[in-house]
Amino acid sequence: MSIINALISLFQESGFAYLAWQNWVMIIVSFALLYLAIVKKFEPLLLLPIAFGMLLVNVYPEIMYDPLAIATPGGQVIDASAHWYDSGVLRLIYCGVKSSIFPCLIFMGVGAMTDFGPLLANPSSLLLGAAAQLGIYVAFLIAIATGYVPGFEGFTPLEAAAIAIIGGADGPTAIYLTGKLAPHLLGPIAVAAYSYMALIPLIQPPIMKALTTKKEREIKMEQLRTVSKAEKIIFPIVVTVICVLIIPSTAPLIGMLMLGNLFKESGVTDRLSDTAQNALCNIVTIMLGVTVGATAEGKTFLDVKTILVIIIGLIAFSFSTAGGVLFAKLMNIITKGKVNPLIGSAGVSAVPMAARVSQVEGRKYNPSNFLLMHAMGPNVAGVIGSAVAAGFLLSTFGKLL
């Protein structure tokens, strides 16, 4: 009898007994994401830790346990004697996301990896990076409009702003802004942002094709001029001063991005540049990926709002791509046929996938065409554009916090 009792007790304590159906659904979703990361190699460096974090939190929700969680909207604490160190291990690491440290450090790594040369050689590509933020504002409108659907409470302006940033196609920026404005939506927004970034080669080409003619896609662009070392060193300093003075809330993102870039371009901090773009970036990516994935706990993740976030995110991505392509078409008209509109889609800041898509699509229609370097300009401009857009949304809605 005692063996049976022990087995019953073991079963009652096991995950099979206490997991809800939502957890099982999310476990299956995590398997699908792991498959995409490992077999299909869709952004594996991000998707794999996110998927594994999702798996961990759904087989063992306590790993994100927060003893200091607020029980009621009024602010009543569940257990006054609780300590922060009683938290689940992933909850502790998650502090780096909540405090915005991780997204900012990742931005520093991105800066250290980025070559702004193509952008400096062709400064008009900055405008493409701005135009490709269109999806952010379309998504914001759609998120607000859901409030007018009968029977649905809709999204608050803070939530709408956080959802909208998915259109920037920039993971760290999306996490940074959502962590500030609507932390409860961090899971769905991060998953949507990174999933769509991974799916860029599938999402963008049909839109690029629909908005351009065959003749436009075949346009060969002139070779870019060489950019001097001095230009590359001065650029991050100028961007920091201008952007932060105009919108101070961009300081954490733009500041860290440009600091990383200055490490790289100055030529006197090779060790710092190496650490920022390799060791540090990799460590932070692991911690950020796993903990963001761990916010997707089935019982809180699976609801109508999450599905809407995923749908609005896709619309945002599509409009951002369209915004970039349409603006590139306009530039092509103004320059009398010197700009291939396919480079416009790279204005969504997913570096360097979006630029690669422009290159691949361009070569499909003209095998002697090399658009990669031309597309890198709008691509890195998109990183600045999405950070500026996030800063604008933060300065507009941050007052509610």
Partner 1 sequence: MKFTTLLKPSMSMLEALSVSVTGIIIVMIILALLAVMVVILSKAIRAVENKAKNKTKSTEKVVETELPEKKAPNGSPLPETQSVGSLDLYKTDEKTAAVIMAIVSEESGIPLNRLQFNSIKLIEE
Q: Which of 130, 186, 287, 294 binds partner 1 (CB under 8 A)?
A: 130
Q: Kindly state whether residue 189 participates in binding partner 1, applying the rule CB under 8 A.
A: no
Smallest gap from residue 227 Cβ to partner 1 (A)? 8
Q: Kindly state whether residue 319 participates in binding partner 1, applying the rule CB under 8 A.
A: no
Q: Kindly state whether residue 266 participates in binding partner 1, applying the rule CB under 8 A.
A: no
Amino acid (one-letter) located at 307: I
- In angstroms, rounded to a whole number, what is the distance separating the alpha carbons of residues 238 and 114? 16
Q: Kindly state whether residue 236 participates in binding partner 1, applying the rule CB under 8 A.
A: no
Please classify residue 243 by burial: count the beta carbons closer than 10 Å to its beta carbon, then call 0-12 exposed, 13-18 middle and 19+ buried.
buried
Smallest gap from residue 330 Cβ to partner 1 (A)? 12
- In angstroms, rounded to a whole number, what is the distance separating the alpha carbons of residues 314 and 303? 18
Q: Kindly state whether residue 257 participates in binding partner 1, applying the rule CB under 8 A.
A: no
Amino acid (one-letter) located at 206: P
Of 154 and 183, which has the nearer Cβ to partner 1?
154
Q: Kindly state whether residue 322 participates in binding partner 1, applying the rule CB under 8 A.
A: no
Print the binding letters for residues 213-232 with partner 1: x by CB under 8 A, - otherwise: --------------xx-xx-
Q: How many residues sit in the footprint of partner 1 (CB under 8 A)?
A: 47
Helix segments in 76-124, DSSP class H: 89-98, 101-113, 117-121
Q: Contact at 8 Å (CB) between 377 and 118?
A: yes
- In angstroms, rounded to a whole number, what is the distance separating the alpha carbons of residues 285 and 288? 5
Q: Which of 67, 154, 201, 352 binds partner 1 (CB under 8 A)?
A: 154
Q: Kindly state whether residue 281 participates in binding partner 1, applying the rule CB under 8 A.
A: no
Q: Kindly state whether residue 366 participates in binding partner 1, applying the rule CB under 8 A.
A: no
Q: Contact at 8 Å (CB) between 164 and 143?
A: yes
**Of the candidates 338, 384, 362, which has an alpha carbon nearest to the alpha carbon of residue 127?**
384
| Residue list 155-184, contact with partner 1 (CB under 8 A) | 156-157, 160
Token pair, residue 18, equals 């206490």
- In angstroms, rounded to a whole number, what is the distance separating the alpha carbons of residues 281 and 29? 26
- In angstroms, rounded to a whole number, what is the distance separating the alpha carbons of residues 149 and 361? 39
Q: Kindly state whether residue 376 participates in binding partner 1, applying the rule CB under 8 A.
A: no
Q: Which residues would be at the binding site for partner 1 (CB under 8 A)?
A: 119-120, 123-124, 126-127, 129-131, 133-134, 136-138, 140-141, 144-145, 147-148, 154, 156-157, 160, 227-228, 230-231, 234-235, 238-239, 242-243, 246-247, 381, 384-385, 388-389, 392-393, 396-397, 399-400
